[in-house]
Structure 1
């Protein structure tokens, strides 16, 4: 594997999702994604970007003086040299997470990395490209996320969580699609169903709106 990656952006912001919500984080957004989810909020990362060596990436991350890093996309696991980046970051003492759409195998990711697995719902349009074996690879060090478009998506995710007892594998997050599903509706449904999941609204969009670099 070449020690270089195609990068859309590297920036310092607050983590808007997962159990690390609100934590200052350096984001490394890789270019390219084989999926086309109906609600994608990072389509600008499908193409373009620039090729950076791992040394260049590490130097830019270090310049922010922040020890928490999130490797995202696009689909970060679609670029195989990302595994070299994971190793270098973990060896350097960074706390690392990666956000994956679920279509690439996660069992080869450095075990020191927290894997945020997005399970595709019917309204995502990408259930057919989901690698379902990834669900079995999840550990308590990871997190499982469902992005929900509407009530039917919620009901499907609710039933999937119950059937597979996902909350016993790892923390489970239900997130409403921005400006599509009202967060208060999702909250009411979860409470009514006594579902052991975390309802989460994207903090970065509440603070800065839907745009790159946040």
Structure 2
């Protein structure tokens, strides 16, 4: 089995896969330099002692787009998913060295859209920093894939994602119903310059930082589905 076939199998069975060496050290530093030079005053930037996040990342920092979509990422995306997918969401997360922030197990159940409207199968709705988000029908969620670009070596000591393999295949899976006598937990350790690809319905969590090292990640979601004519993907980039 070749590498691409193995990654496809991992995504189908486990809901995630990890690929090293998508970005060189120099490319990682270029991406970080663009982020560090950005205007931090915008309301989509959230900064505290435990977290620095940029919502609508590729819209807020368009200079990063060419650096992120390098030939390696484009090649992997085309081989795994085809060429008709487009970007629908992007977030930058920086978990500082002293962060005590953690995220409990959850699925990513919402999409970012441009307006709020009553539509069958869409709901509940939320609004974060003037951004509408809604839980869409399951078929839309099942079609999405997420690429997490790691700008630091990441393991269980500095907030690597922990996941429940195969949980993406169980549709809506409430964390409080996890049967740990049946399920198992895996830490998704990723090297600097590597990526983790995952399905949004995969149960995942993130622990506190204990090793005094940063964990900076760019989270990008992709789909090839059009929404009903009344709605548009808020962050769509072809």
- Taking structure 2 as the reference length, the TM-score comes to 0.28
More helix by share: 1
Higher relative contact order (CA 8 A, sep 6+): 2
- Taking structure 1 as the reference length, the TM-score comes to 0.30
